[in-house]
Amino acid sequence: MNRIFVAISMLVFVGFQSCNTTTEKPEKQLSAPIGPKDLILKSDLMTPEVLWSMGRIGEIALSPDEKSVLFGLTYYDLEQNKGNSELYTIPTDGGAIVRITNTTFGEYNPRWRPDGKRIGFMSAESGSMQLWEMNPDGSNRVKISEVEGGLNGFCYAPDQTKIAFIADVKTNQTVADIYPDLPKSSGRVMNDLMYRHWDHWVDSYSHVFVADYNGETLLNSKDVLANEPYETPLAPFGGMEQITWTPDSKGVVYTCRKKTGKDYSFSTNSDIYLYEIASGKTKNLTEGMMGYDVAPVISPDGRFMAWESMEREGFEADKVRLMVMELKSRMRTNYTLKFDQDAHGLAWSDDSKSVYFISNWHALDQIYKLEMASNSIRKITDGIHDYTSVIPAGDRLIGTKMSMSMPTELFAINESDGNQTQLTYVNKQIFDQLALGKVEERWIETTDHKQMLTWVIYPPHFDATKKYPTLLYCQGGPQSTVSQFWSYRWNFQMMAANDYIIVAPNRRGLPGFGREWNEQISGDYGGQNMKDYLSAIDAVAKEPYVNSDKLGAVGASYGGFSVYWLAGNHNKRFKAFIAHDGMFNLESQYLETEEMWFADWDLGGPFWDKNNKIAQNSYANSPHKFVNKWDTPIMVVHSELDYRIVASQGMQAFNAAVIKGIPAEYLYFPDENHWVLKPQNGVLWQRRFYNWLDKWLK
């Protein structure tokens, strides 16, 4: 489950130009400023409506001449309860943003054609999501695909003769297929595990296709995984970064976990495969590597493949290694053997001698560079922020960056000195009117005498002579860092704007502090990490400006589990709790979730294995075991389409509180999953969140 909050933090997914028919009149070029330029705020404090009015930068792609960045930008309309993404360009050396689309259909997955003369993108303008092209100025917009059911992503072959795309393929029989005389039956028949995943029932799989491309339309598409019940990319977070072309355009490299049912449910063993166009043969490039192997990138000279790799099967929060393979000899090298950090978002230098990547250390995501010849790694950027992507662009790097005080923006980075120049100011008009809270880094001693980085966020217009209610933020994952992420739900500046101090500790079980710190939590739920939470809130509660009689604890996923556990073990510290999508009863959770590798690794195994001391310790620390000690008002949030932690977990917790006579509230969404993504649901979430806290802490 650590990928849950990685996804929340990593709001940007990078689109490289290689991968990674109706016409309409040429569109008029639209220039910056962009967004709600006439939005005048009623105060300088953030509100849910202001948060949802902000533009959100999405995928980015570098032009072949490295002079322009193409990117998507999404705005949400609360009244219509939906968002719309448009495409923009900006010079890599700075300058005016140019808007190149203006529709109500949305444009997604932008890519430069390899010759730079056209831009490809996906749009549902004709009903289903299809592939379109236009000139770099937005004119001459033409649909070039007619894929039944639509497609979900694409990338051009380097020689521009083919296009790879992903689309859903039905491979499982339904009741109607088995019994044609029962076409209206709603029943489902299951004979194995992994019948549903994250937020959907598994009736189809995403496959990669290769189609000929004549410069005007797609022809003769072929399913690389024809008739196979496997998926590529990996659900739910995988995208086109898991699929790429070889530089000679003779092969497609893709990520796949070729397992089904129970085997899939208990394994993280994905591999990287090479599909040869001419022969139709497929080779497993990472055979024998047992953990996650994902996100391949081929060097410009075609000699090497770099990818992200985990060593141990079943451990989804294992160290992410930067592996490089010499493709001719198949020799593999782990370049992060002595680097006690993860490596994400790999990108080759133009000369094929170096790899740039993103890595977290001490709750900050920075850009690093591996120089293969010297086997050395150098950090390029510094600062209180999170970089979420990096692309080499001639004499500079282009990156997307966020912080607890800034949504994602584009930056140009000077590699030699690390100097960073902001290129976009998407939400400047809004932030010019907002007062933000100070973000402070503290190191707090834990019960076992270690130092723990804790972020403390203060209200705007903070007055040290006053006493403020204070919130302990419990992170999810469980192995997801409390870094400088900007969230559109768990937003620290929003919490601060409601006149709360926030205490956000990087407790045991989070990456960025070495493998020992990260892995300690597995098999120790309710153990040292809970002591870390209490160390953090106890230390900050001693400050004269903290009202120690008005403390609350909030969190989602593993953070929700943490809140439930603290509710029975907090010794009167807290006066209010909020748990979102949390695990309440670990015994039922073991048999309700779908990704069994997580439950097996982190809980230690099934609850019926009485000889397994690790598992028995986990289940002994299940929050439902401590309900007899609950005495504090609690709000529970859960959603019906959350198949990771099912809605009955939240119902059990809420029902227990009501039965015990404890003030409680249950916020339920029938149409959301592990996140709350619809605009009006998001605003409702915020309103009830602060209504509950204000009721008990102010």
Whether cis (ω within 30° of 0) applies to the bond prior to 48 is: no
Pairing of strands 634-639, 664-669: parallel
Residue-by-residue DSSP string for 304-360: EEEEEE--STT-TTS--EEEEEETTTTEEEETTTT--S--EEEEE-TTSSEEEEEEE
pLDDT (tens digit per residue) in 523-569: 999 999 999 999 999 999 999 999 999 999 999 999 999 999 999 99
Using pLDDT thresholds of 50, 70 and 90, give the confidence band for residue 14. Answer: very low
pLDDT at site 10: 36
Helical ranges in 498-625 per DSSP H: 515-519, 528-541, 558-567, 586-592, 596-603, 613-620
pLDDT (tens digit per residue) in 135-193: 999 999 999 999 999 999 999 999 999 999 999 999 888 999 999 999 999 999 999 99
Which of 271, 499, 532, 642 does the annotation list as catalytic? 642
Is pLDDT at 12 greater than 70 in this prediction? no
Q: Report the greatest alpha carbon distance in the chain.
A: 75
- Out of 7-16, 163-172, 391-400, 635-644, pick the least confident: 7-16
Which residues, in sequence order, are CB contacts of 43 under 8 Å at separation 6+? Answer: none
State residue 577 phi and psi, 5-degree precision: -130, 150
Strand partners, 666: 636
| Distance (Å, whole) CA 384 – CA 42 | 30
642 labelled catalytic:
yes
Which of 53, 145, 389, 557 does the annotation list as catalytic? 557
Residues in the chain: 698
Q: What is the mean pLDDT of residues 679-696?
A: 98
Q: Please give the structure tokens belonging to residue 195.
A: 């019948």
Q: What is the mean pLDDT of residues 77-86?
A: 95
Q: How many CA within 13 A on the CB side of residue 575? A: 15
pLDDT (tens digit per residue) in 449-467: 999 999 999 999 999 999 9
Q: Please give the structure tokens belonging to residue 75.
A: 């705005």
Q: Please give the structure tokens belonging to residue 631.
A: 């005495």
pLDDT at site 39: 84
Using pLDDT thresholds of 50, 70 and 90, give the confidence band for residue 18. Answer: very low
Q: Please give the structure tokens belonging to residue 342.
A: 């993860």
674 labelled catalytic:
yes
Which residues, in sequence order, are CB contacts of 550 under 8 Å at separation 6+? Answer: 467, 469, 470, 575, 697, 698
pLDDT (tens digit per residue) in 191-233: 999 999 999 999 999 999 999 999 999 999 999 999 899 999 9
Is pLDDT at 33 greater than 90 in this prediction? no
Is pLDDT at 655 greater than 80 in this prediction? yes
Q: Please give the structure tokens belonging to residue 20.
A: 């990674």
pLDDT at site 682: 98
Using pLDDT thresholds of 50, 70 and 90, give the confidence band for residue 38. Answer: confident
The crossing angle, in degrees rounded to 10, of helices 613-620 and 596-603 is 100
Residue-by-residue DSSP string for 225-284: TTT----SS-TTT--GGGEEE-TTSSEEEEEE----HHHHHT----EEEEEETTT--EEE
Is pLDDT at 6 greater than 50 in this prediction? no
For CA atoms 647, 648, 649, 653, give the dihedral sign: positive
Pairing of strands 576-580, 546-556: parallel
Is there a contact between 443 and 513 (Cβ–Cβ < 8 Å)? no
Rg (CA), the chain: 25
580 labelled catalytic:
no
| Distance (Å, whole) CA 630 – CA 572 | 10
Taking alpha carbons only, the member of 97, 167, 183 closest to residue 130 is 167
pLDDT (tens digit per residue) in 497-536: 999 999 999 999 999 999 999 999 999 999 999 999 999 9
Helix (H) or strand (E) holding 690: helix 679-697
Amino acid, single-letter form, for residue 494: M
pLDDT at site 4: 36
**End-to-end CA gap in the chain:** 34
Per-residue three-class SS string for 43-57: CCCCCHHHHHCCCEE
Q: What is the mean pLDDT of residues 481-489?
A: 97
| Distance (Å, whole) CA 323 – CA 422 | 31
Is there a contact between 412 and 377 (Cβ–Cβ < 8 Å)? no
Taking alpha carbons only, the member of 148, 168, 59, 53 closest to residue 108 is 59
Domain ranges of the chain: 351-434, 436-697
Amino acid, single-letter form, for residue 165: F
Is there a contact between 578 and 563 (Cβ–Cβ < 8 Å)? yes
Q: What is the mean pLDDT of residues 402-418?
A: 97
Mean pLDDT value across the chain = 94
Which long-range contacts (C-beta less than 8 Å, at least 24 apart) are formed by 275-279?
A: 275/208, 275/210, 275/224, 275/251, 276/250, 276/251, 277/162, 277/210, 277/249, 277/250, 277/251, 277/252, 278/250
Strand partners, 68: 91
Q: Which CATH architecture has domain 436-697?
A: 3-Layer(aba) Sandwich (3.40)
| Distance (Å, whole) CA 174 – CA 189 | 8
What is the number of other CB atoms lying within 10 angstroms of the CB of residue 149? Answer: 12
Q: What is the mean pLDDT of residues 388-404?
A: 97
Is there a contact between 589 and 582 (Cβ–Cβ < 8 Å)? no
Amino acid, single-letter form, for residue 498: N
